[in-house]
Amino acid sequence: MSDLRVLSVASEVYPIVKTGGLADVAGALPAALRMEGVAVRTLMPGYPAAVEALQSATNVLAVKDLFGGPARLLAGTHGQLDLLVLDAPHLFARPGNPYLGPDGKDWPDNAFRFAALARVAAEIALGAIPAFVPDVVHGHDWQAGLLPAYLRYSRRPHPGTVMTVHNLAFQGRCPRELLGSLGLPPESFAVDGVEYYGTISFLKAGLQFADRITTVSPTYALEIQGAEQGMGLDGLLRARSAVLTGILNGIDMSVWDPAHDRAIASHYGVDSLEARAPNKAALQQRLRLRVSPDAFLLGVVSRLSWQKGLDLLFACLPTILSGGMQLALLGDGDADLREAFRGAASANPGQIGVVTGYDESLAHAIQAGSDALVVPSRFEPCGLTQLCALRYGAIPIVAAVGGLADTVIDAHETTDATGFKFSPVTAENLDHALRRAAAAFYASRANGSEWLRMQLNGMLTDVSWRHRAARYAELYRQIVAQRGG
């Protein structure tokens, strides 16, 4: 049987360009799918880093005018990734963050930048590259949202479509006046089209027209069908619930592997957990914390945004400080939170260490060196850092929402416990969870193995892509079968 061909469309792909977990998923899922007999090519925007990353590039398509300038499609590889890079300098040849200008605000032409991505994806789906005609096209988040809409309004036969929601909070909205210039027909501005509260929403367009919708955990798949987490799209998602499923993310087990990780001081595994201790000392040194195996060391690796609930953790600092705990925080994002945590670090040297910015190697060092990893998100479609924590023997302390609820087993529940969960998501409940975790940590240091058992349970949990990729493969095959392909 020949491989199923899938075009994956994503605005960021690890290790080339990354602002969050979407890049990790788009970067790791293709290799896992290959094991399932699915050949994935990934289309991404031609940011400078993406054009540079291409090995042995060939030009497979030229477009004279793509929303205001010429574009070409470059095919090549990067590591295991089979890439199509949309080289359109007027849209993507800009330094820095893929979505934001130097002023920290969205690029004003983001609607056209990502419409261009979707437009070219639609052309590929319709056969623009004869050597690669996909059986299924798979778009990720709002940046790919117009893809199913362009295919629908092309009124031509086309492959099946999947849209994956990684985060419903980002909806890709723009004024209705752009309808024509985005290449959408007048009739598309309707409740059953791309219209969304009087504007155009790219994400809504994708959710409206995709054959199948997935999101990145079963619990988030339910949450987004309710008013509280549905962010205005819950009605549509309820209407489409028959084609909506939640498939958990995995992590790349070769990138996140404590036995071989080059970013950490000492390698370890389930059979050599004692070799984890030097990583705690190294992390304490690196963040100028008091070096002691006995201090309960909390780690955080996160975007600093309302979603992630780190203001709740900030409210718990008195408990952390008075309980003799330590905090190692790595994060970037909202200026208020950056300032607040930096201030706390300078006021409490030895106990609170904060690094603001993006630092991949420190992210690994925190996973390997912390006793527990705190993820107090208000909502979390899946979350990857708690999966890394499980693999690295850092006990997750998480809000019981979305994928966090699905991937962590609370210490109260069973001897299979892997961490601590709290809900509803309030500072009081987080505070309580921190105290519970600290008590368990200190008790185990005195006399027991409960902590160790939780660490081992976590490290033995399957957080790989293997079974999860198989679910995507099954979904693609169902779509092809239903379309009679």
With CB under 5 to 8 Å by kind, the binding choice for 363 among ligand ADP, ligand GLC, none is ligand ADP
Nearest distance from C-beta of residue 454 to ligand ADP, angstroms: 20
Nearest approach, Cβ of residue 169 and ligand GLC (Å): 8
The CB-of-404 to ligand GLC minimum distance in angstroms stands at 8
Least gap, CB of 25 to ligand ADP (angstroms)? 8
Options 249, 326, 351, 457; binder of ligand GLC; rule CB under 6 A: 249
Please check whether residue 339 is in contact with residue 273, taking contact to mean a CB–CB distance below 8 angstroms: no
Beta bridge partners of 214: 164, 245
Q: How far apart are CA 458 and CA 59, in angstroms?
A: 46
Q: Is 381 in the site for ligand GLC (CB under 6 A)?
A: yes
CB of 359 to ligand ADP, least distance (A): 5
Of residues 334 and 359, the one with the C-beta less far from ligand ADP: 359
Cβ proximity to ligand ADP: between 33 and 300 the closer is 300
Closest approach of ligand ADP to the CB of residue 308, in Å: 7
22 binds ligand GLC (CB under 6 A): yes
With CB under 5 to 8 Å by kind, the binding choice for 216 among ligand ADP, ligand GLC, none is ligand GLC
| Among candidate residues 481, 234, 463, 435, the one with its CA nearest the CA of residue 319 | 435
Query: Could you tell me if 206 and 136 are in contact, meaning their C-beta atoms sit under 8 angstroms apart?
Result: no
Per-residue tokens: 10 = 């994503």
436 CB burial (10 A radius; 0-12, 13-18, 19+): middle
Q: Which of residues 385-414 bind ligand GLC (CB under 6 A)?
A: 403
The option from ligand ADP, ligand GLC, none interacting with 331 (CB < 5 to 8 A, set by class) reads ligand ADP
In degrees and rounded to multiples of 5, residue 7 shows phi and psi of -100, 120
Question: Whole-number minimum distance, CB 304 to ligand ADP, in Å?
Answer: 8
Question: Considering beta carbons, is residue 208 or 249 the nearer one to ligand GLC?
Answer: 249
Residues that bind ligand ADP (CB under 6 A): 20-22, 24, 301-303, 330-332, 358-360, 363, 382-385
The sheet with strand 297-304 has its strands ordered as 352-356, 326-333, 297-304, 372-375, 395-399, 420-422
302 binds ligand GLC (CB under 6 A): no
Order of strands, sheet of 71-78, starting from the edge strand that comes earlier in the sequence:
55-63, 71-78, 81-87, 38-45, 4-9, 136-140, 160-165, 212-215, 244-246
Among 382, 430, 434, 469, contact with ligand GLC (rule: CB under 6 A): 382
Residue 469 Cβ vs ligand GLC, minimum distance, rounded to whole Å: 14
* 380 binds ligand GLC per the rule CB under 6 A: yes
Q: Rounded CA gap, 189 and 183, in Å?
A: 12
Nearest residue to ligand GLC, scored by beta-carbon proximity: 21
Does the footprint of ligand GLC cover residue 27 (CB under 6 A)? no
Among ligand GLC, ligand ADP, none, residue 330 binds (CB under 5-8 Å by kind)? ligand ADP
Instruction: Return the amino acid letter for 479.
Output: I
CA dihedral 252, 258, 15, 9 (to 10 degrees): 20
Per rule CB under 6 A, count of chain residues that contact ligand GLC: 14
Q: Is 249 helix (H, G, I), strand (E, B) or coil?
A: coil
Please tell me whether residue 36 adopts helix, strand or coil conformation: coil
Q: Are 284 and 369 in contact (CB under 8 A)?
A: yes
Residue 231 region, left (φ>0) first, then alpha (ψ -120 to 50), else beta?
left
Stretch that binds ligand GLC, among 353-361, 382-390, 408-416, 457-465 (CB under 6 A): 382-390
Q: Do residues 86 and 46 make contact, with C-beta atoms less than 8 angstroms apart?
A: yes
Min dist. Cβ of residue 426 to ligand GLC (A): 20
| Of the candidate residues 25, 146, 344, 409, the single one contacting ligand GLC (CB under 6 A) | 25
CA 454, distance to chain mean position in Å, is 25
* 166 part of the interface to ligand GLC, by CB under 6 A: yes
Which one of the spans 195-203, 314-322, 375-383, 461-469 is the region binding ligand GLC (CB under 6 A)? 375-383
Residue 83 or 165 having the CB closest to ligand GLC: 165
Alpha-carbon distance 145 to 128, whole Å? 20
Distance, in Å, from the CA atom of 46 to the CA atom of 268, rounded to the nearest integer, reads 39
Interface residues toward ligand GLC, by CB under 6 A: 20-22, 25, 166-167, 216, 249, 380-384, 403
